[in-house]
Structure 1
Amino acid sequence: MIKSNPFTSETFISYWSKHFLHGKEKHTFNFAKNLSFYQSKIPGLYLNAGKNLTKGIDYELNPPCDGEEKGKTLLIHDVIDFSRTEESSKNKALGLYTVKQYPGFMIKLDSFGSLEDFMTRSFKKSSRYKLRKYKKRLEECFPISFKVYHGEMSEEEFGTTFDQFRLLLEKRFAEKKISNNNLDIEEWNFYKDVAYPMILEKKAALFVLKNNNEPISLTLAYLSEDRVFDAITVFDIDYAKFHLGSIKIMYLIEWCISNNWPILDFSKGYFDYKTRWSNEKFDFAYHILYDKKSPRAQLLSFTLKNLLTFKQYLREKKLNDSFHRFTYALKNNKENPTNYSFVEHESVSPETIMNQVDICKSEFCTLKGICFDFLYLYQEQQKDLKVFKVDGPENIFFLVGQKAKTCVKLTT
């Protein structure tokens, strides 16, 4: 069992109900310990509060009480405790269907004494060298800091930080050209609403990697007694050359080990980085509980099981990815990508008029990532970088550091 599960906490459920139930009544049943439900549009079908916005649900079944289960079918999302079977259930009046949902990944950290210990025992020498190089290069090029908000955070700072969180997510998924459900306005407003009180209650944490005071990678995590649940994470794609995603995980692991958190849970869904970093895989599942004596509940639960099994089949065939790309294309106009190439700076005449530009301004946003590639390649520091726009019909910029200089030509 997950001790002090944040997704069944009063705070999480109350904010979720506020955003998604729209006045519907919540129900609790004595036979389903530590869960609450609401009735769906289908008579007799109850769904767990929190639905698919949790990152891991577990529950206990009690013996039947006063016939509460009569005629009912209950659908529970994101169950991660598979020790329970219908035969071992305490409630013999309920049948159980289990349908595989998403794969889950986590790092068990209790046997590691430090980040270095984890890296040594988890990666080959060549991989460790590359990861250390990325982290060192990032910290040499920029004034990097790592801040964890856990228990204390001003409301104003939370608001500005979470707004930056959304901007980076929009930027990331615009690059991938795929829809992301976290950015749906109703869902995002829920995350923003629930995160702050849970941070203050130490049931959530916001991990922020900063360049100066600018967040460049953020992770919202929920916390149980012994587990850190990575809920939403993002990094600024302008820093892609530095492998910022891997660096952020290194910071997370170091924090977890230093603060005695035995499990860093990457939660549901497959991504390449999860397979590289995790040392244990598990599965999420839908659990369908139903009244064995009710023909209606039997039919409904069987139909639901088949629908969810088919949905999982489509997911395994990656048709959901195609769907998200299609929905993104419907919502967004096609944009011509900006390409660039380095050109010999000797070709720029000394008499050429050049105007210094600020790459942090919106009109030069496409230039920012290119400049950061320059910093990485030539081991320059951001504070020493000067960028000039070369006068003329071609889109050419002159990049000057302490040790190197080059010209960049932008094309669309």
Structure 2
Amino acid sequence: MIKDNPFYSATFVEYWGKHFLSGRKKHIFPFAKNLSFYKSKLPGLFINTGKNLTKGINLELGESSREEKNNCFLIYDVIDFDSHQAKFNNNGLGHFAVRQYPGYLIDLEPYSSLDDFLSKTFKKSSRYKLRKYKKRLEECFNISFKAYQGEISKEEYDTVFIYFRKLLEKRFEEKQISNNNLDTDEWDFYKDVAYPMILENKASLFVLYKNEEPISITLSYLSDNRVFDAITVFDIDYAKFHLGSIKIMYLVDWCLKNGWKTLDFSKGHFDYKLRWSNKKFDFHYHIWFDKKSLKAQVTAYTLKLYFTFKQYLREKEINEKLHKLTFALKNKKPDNVQYSFEKTIQSYDEEKLEPVDMTMPEHTLFKRICYEFLYLYPENENNINVYRLTNRDSFYLIKGTGNESLVKVNF
């Protein structure tokens, strides 16, 4: 059972209601401990506050009462269900549980350190690669990791969230998929609720910096011993360095050093979750209804059919195709830059080299090329220079202290 679930906290419930209830009243029903509900537009249907924006709730049954009469109740994202048989049989309510998303987590209790975790989880060749990625990133850039928990200035918080949204937009523009976290209502909620919850030690921001610039950000919620990964993103310009894996190593290291027992990757299947997790579980939508009410029975059965069909579409990856279509309708096709590295076979006169200022917005697309050069030829970012060859169209020269390479670029 999850203790001190952050999605039951007064702050989370208050801010969710502020953003999504439009003044509607919250209701408490004795059959579901710790949960509050709101009345949906469908008569006789109540839905749990937080709805699908929690990252997993534990459902503990209480005693039934007359308040549940003629009603149906929908509870999203149940991952921990206290189904004491006596209560289950005697509370007068019918029940459906519909499997929806898979969930993944790392049970950290068997491990004493990051090295211990890596040695017991990955093969020798994989451990070598992971350590190489991390070492190479730290050689090439001035990297630091910061966990904001318990305190953060509002100014710093706002700055991190500006980068957070930009990185998410950049990431999903590359994937050509729409992302619901970027919808205005959801994003405003996350930005509004995370700050007070960080101050209350019920949330955290994990930020990987290059110098003063965030290049990977994770928003997490915190229970007494569980870290819930809510939203995570990394700068795709650093893809060659496997920044996503590096960030997970930093998170595992932080969790183990600070006594956290579970790193929960939350709902939804992604290959990285399967690779890093050591436990898989399921999210269920629970539907409870008055067994003596025909109206409640019809509502419950309709909901069951609806969510069963949604899961079928999800398993057939129809939802992913829909996200891609939605993105295509809303956005223009991104710029596609083709490039290739070539060996330098001669020295170049200075008059044939035009310096490229990588801080200028028009050269943003060139950053990933430079970072791939840094990965291929370990150099510190501060020691490289980029030049355009004035006598060869579409050719650039990247020079470090001990390495150089021509790059042919088709913008």
TM-score over 0.5 (shorter chain): yes
Compared CA separation, residues 35 and 355, structure 1 to 2 (3 A): same
Partners of 2:31 and 2:91 within 8 A in 1:
no
Cα distance, 1:194 vs. partner?
Answer: 0.4
Partners of 2:173 and 2:334 within 8 A in 1:
no
- Per-residue CA deviation, residues 9-35 of structure 1 (Å, 9 max, x unaligned), is 100011111111111111111222111
Cα distance, 1:392 vs. partner?
Answer: 5.1
Q: Does 1:68 align with 2:62?
A: no
Q: In 1, distance between residues paired with 2:85 and 2:23? A: 34
Cα distance, 1:288 vs. partner?
Answer: 0.1
Cα distance, 1:61 vs. partner?
Answer: 1.7
- Per-residue CA deviation, residues 244-302 of structure 1 (Å, 9 max, x unaligned), is 00010000001101111000000000000001100000000000000011010011101
Residue 34 of structure 2 aligns with which residue?
34
Cα distance, 1:393 vs. partner?
Answer: 6.9
Q: Does 1:238 align with 2:237?
A: yes
- Per-residue CA deviation, residues 220-254 of structure 1 (Å, 9 max, x unaligned), is 00000010000000010111111000010000001
Q: In 1, distance between residues paired with 2:83 and 2:110? A: 27
Cα distance, 1:305 vs. partner?
Answer: 0.3
> What letter is aligned with 1:176?
K
Alignment of 1:56-205 (within 5 A): 56-65=56-65, 67-84=66-83, 89=88, 91-205=90-204
Cα distance, 1:345 vs. partner?
Answer: 3.2
Give ranges in structure 1 of 5+ residues lacking alignment: none
Cα distance, 1:205 vs. partner?
Answer: 0.5
Partners of 1:387 and 1:398 within 8 A in 2:
yes
With 24-33 and 138-147 compared, the bigger mean Cα shift is at 24-33
| RMSD of aligned residue pairs (Cα, Å) | 1.5
The number of aligned residues is 411
Q: In 1, distance between residues paired with 2:278 and 2:89? A: 33
Q: In 1, distance between residues paired with 2:37 and 2:82? A: 22
Partners of 2:174 and 2:334 within 8 A in 1:
no
> What letter is aligned with 2:44?
G
Residue 3 of structure 2 aligns with which residue?
3
Partners of 2:61 and 2:87 within 8 A in 1:
no
Q: In 1, distance between residues paired with 2:25 and 2:115? A: 50
Residue 361 of structure 2 aligns with which residue?
362
- Per-residue CA deviation, residues 362-381 of structure 1 (Å, 9 max, x unaligned), is 11111001100000100111
Partners of 1:94 and 1:292 within 8 A in 2:
yes
The 3-state SS of whatever aligns with 2:332 is coil
The 3-state SS of whatever aligns with 1:345 is coil
Residue 205 of structure 2 aligns with which residue?
206
Compared CA separation, residues 245 and 134, structure 1 to 2 (3 A): same
> What letter is aligned with 2:293?
S
Give ranges in structure 2 of 5+ residues lacking alignment: none
- Per-residue CA deviation, residues 144-201 of structure 1 (Å, 9 max, x unaligned), is 1000000110000000111101100111111101001001111001000001100011
Q: Does 1:55 align with 2:60?
A: no
With 8-17 and 333-342 compared, the bigger mean Cα shift is at 333-342
Compared CA separation, residues 322 and 348, structure 1 to 2 (3 A): farther
Q: In 2, distance between residues paired with 1:265 and 1:34? A: 21
Q: In 1, distance between residues paired with 2:338 and 2:314? A: 33
Cα distance, 1:408 vs. partner?
Answer: 1.2
Q: In 1, distance between residues paired with 2:41 and 2:315? A: 28
Q: Does 1:331 align with 2:339?
A: no
- Per-residue CA deviation, residues 349-407 of structure 1 (Å, 9 max, x unaligned), is 52643222232321111100110000010011101011112225722221110110112
Residue 44 of structure 1 aligns with which residue?
44
Partners of 1:387 and 1:397 within 8 A in 2:
yes
> What letter is aligned with 2:379?
E
Compared CA separation, residues 377 and 393, structure 1 to 2 (3 A): closer
With 89-98 and 239-248 compared, the bigger mean Cα shift is at 89-98
Partners of 2:146 and 2:206 within 8 A in 1:
yes
- Per-residue CA deviation, residues 306-337 of structure 1 (Å, 9 max, x unaligned), is 11100000001110000000000001112340
Partners of 1:61 and 1:90 within 8 A in 2:
no
Structure 1 segments (4+ residues) deviating >6 Å: none
The 3-state SS of whatever aligns with 2:88 is coil
Relative to the length of structure 2, the TM-score reads 0.97
With 233-242 and 21-30 compared, the bigger mean Cα shift is at 21-30
Partners of 2:374 and 2:381 within 8 A in 1:
yes
The 3-state SS of whatever aligns with 2:265 is strand
